Amino acid sequence: MSGNRTFTMIKPDAVEAGNTGNIIQMITDAGFSIKAMKLTNLSKEQAEEFYAVHAERPFYGELVSYMTSGAIVAAILEKDNAVADFRALIGATDPAEAEAGTIRKAYAESKGRNAVHGSDSDENAGIECDFHFEIAELV
- Residue positions annotated with a catalytic role: 117
Question: Using alpha carbons only, how large is the chain's radius of gyration in Å?
Answer: 14
Q: Say if residues 133 and 5 touch (Cβ distance below 8 Å).
A: no
Q: Which is nearer to ligand IDP, 19 or 114 (CB)?
A: 114
Between the CA of residue 136 and those of 26, 85, 89, 114, what are the distances in Å?
Answer: 23, 20, 23, 25
Identify which range of 21-29, 34-42, 56-64, 127-135 contacts ligand IDP by CB under 6 A.
56-64
String marking each residue 116-135 x if it binds ligand IDP according to CB under 6 A:
-x--x---------------
State which of residues 63, 75, 76, 98 lies at the interface with ligand IDP (CB under 6 A).
63
Closest CB 114 distance from ligand IDP, rounded Å: 5
Cβ-closest position to ligand IDP = 112
Between the CA of residue 114 and those of 2, 126, 139, what are the distances in Å?
Answer: 26, 22, 28
Q: Which is nearer to Mg ion, 63 or 136 (CB)?
A: 63
Identify which range of 2-10, 20-28, 34-42, 106-114 contacts ligand IDP by CB under 6 A.
106-114
**Distance from first CA to last CA of the chain, Å, rounded?**
21
Q: What span, in angstroms and rounded, lies between the C-alpha atoms of 90 and 64?
A: 20
